[in-house]
Chains A and B, each alone.
Chain A
């Protein structure tokens, strides 16, 4: 292969190199370092400081497409919350939520190992509850804040009056905090929950949605957030509950470094061509 061809590689070679680079840590984990970022620390500090018996809502609106990013975050947060003495109310505003909430407890390809609430001494209906999927987008956010009993029954058909935890959670005014794992509709959540009830709002967002969140964090409308898989891995590290995200961080790191390497390689080639006067 001549020197010139190195700067004009066929895409099949690029794909091959990337495939090899992301496969290496899957076959043999490298244990590359993970340094928790400001927003992950903010999320961890907020959740760690939840008062005993306070109501915290998890809005499990993750979808399969964003699974590697949002489901890993959700599982990391779920493990931490179950280990604390808080009243955990889980609800989904995305149709896929119930499948992925089940997967969170049972374990799966994008969840990692099962999360067993009994391991943390938590009892369903007393310490945590799952209300299921509520359709309607922003209308549903508004309705749920106004009346948390709007579903009448939980996901498994048990009337809410038979679940002691729901006595502590009737409207948005009862929430100490809420965390949403969603790929979209963030502004609507801010408007319906933070602006109306002043509830501290945290987000778990995919990488593409993160830029929209920075300005809301600066204004205090959003408390903090986890960004993408890296946020999940950092959170696992902080909470001391290592899971799937930590094991995937090597893949992410090597993938990013490969992309940057090829961008630099392409620019070296472009620079040499320009020096030679090739247009």
Chain B
């Protein structure tokens, strides 16, 4: 690893520490000048994030164009990717999203395709549930009953069969699910705080492709 790379990495860590601590402390301070400066930094970050999208599209295109030119592995899907990425992009940049062709591509191609993908899931769920959702053990029986009550509770028409489906399904979601999710959320939050602290003291360097 060259000293140049080390210097760049050290500068990045320095910027991260200074900006990171400033943004944390800004939360607790009510001073227009400091709050406004924090706003400027966040605006710069927003612009940077938008710029990274351009870099991402550039890298993706370079990789797939190379694959097409060399007729490498799965080069046909690469053609589909390049066409479906660049045609809306160019039309969108030239004509904005108000362009009839862009609107057509979105409303008549992208929208129905996305909807169809989600719609197809219901068929797979039916097939998978029919074959695998069996009362093989106590655990799977509890899971099965919970799934049935939640599903029936979410289908309003089932109130005709039994009015207890919705309250019981609601109780499972409000109490059992909330308790489980709360545990997971607290675990994630503690992990996030630890990772953030490591970044803010310069100990976490993996995001800079560096060794700790």
A residues adjacent to B (C-beta < 8 A): 9, 11, 14-15, 18-19, 22, 32-35, 37-38, 63-68, 98-99, 103, 108-110, 134-137, 139-140, 142-143, 146-147, 150, 187, 196, 207, 210-212, 214-215, 218, 228, 230, 233, 249-250, 252-260, 262-267, 270-271
Contacts and interface: CB of A to CB of B under 8 A. Distances in A.
13 contacts: A14-B123, A14-B126, A65-B114, A65-B118, A68-B118, A99-B106, A137-B49, A143-B46, A211-B178, A218-B174, A256-B155, A259-B126, A259-B151
B35 A18 contact: no
- Which of A32, A64, A135, A252 gathers most chain B CB within 10 Å? A64
B133 A263 contact: yes
A139 B125 contact: no
A232 to B, nearest CB: 12
B203 interface: no
Nearest to A253: B157
Contacts of A15: 123, 126-127
B115 A68 contact: yes
Given A33-B159, A250-B157, A263-B130, A210 B173 contact: yes
A35 B166 contact: yes
A38 B171 CA distance: 11
Interface stretch (B36-44, B67-75, B193-201): B36-44
B97 interface: yes
Summarize A's interface: helix, strand, loop or mixed: helix
CB-CB nearest 9 A-B residue pairs: A256-B155, A253-B157, A136-B46, A214-B178, A32-B157, A64-B114, A143-B42, A215-B182, A262-B130
A160 B193 CA distance: 38
Count class of interface residues, chain B:
35 or more
Contact of B122 (A37, A250, A255): A255
Interface string B157-192: 111100000100010011001110110010000000
A254 B160 CA distance: 13
B162 to A, nearest CB: 12
A209 to B, nearest CB: 11
A256 B115 contact: no
Interface in B124-169: 125-127, 129-131, 133-136, 144, 147-148, 151-152, 154-160, 166
A140 to B, nearest CB: 5
A135 B49 CA distance: 8
A214 B173 contact: yes
B173 A262 contact: no
B101 interface: no
B130 A265 contact: yes
Contacts of A207: 154
A139 B181 contact: no
B185 A266 contact: no
B117 interface: yes
Nearest to B117: A65
A266 B133 contact: yes
A22 B123 CA distance: 11
Given A98-B97, A146-B39, A271-B135, 7 more contacts: A63-B114, A64-B114, A108-B107, A136-B45, A207-B154, A233-B156, A255-B122
Given A33-B156, A135-B46, A99 B97 contact: yes
Contacts of A250: 157
A34 B106 CA distance: 32
B111 A67 contact: yes
A154 to B, nearest CB: 14
A66 to B, nearest CB: 8
A139 B143 CA distance: 39
Contacts of B151: 256, 259-260
- Which of A9, A34, A267 gathers most chain B CB within 10 Å? A267
Contact of A266 (B111, B114, B131): B131
A277 B118 CA distance: 39
A262 B175 CA distance: 27
B110 interface: yes
Contacts of B156: 32-35, 230, 233, 249, 253
A63 B46 CA distance: 20
Contacts of A99: 97, 103, 106-107
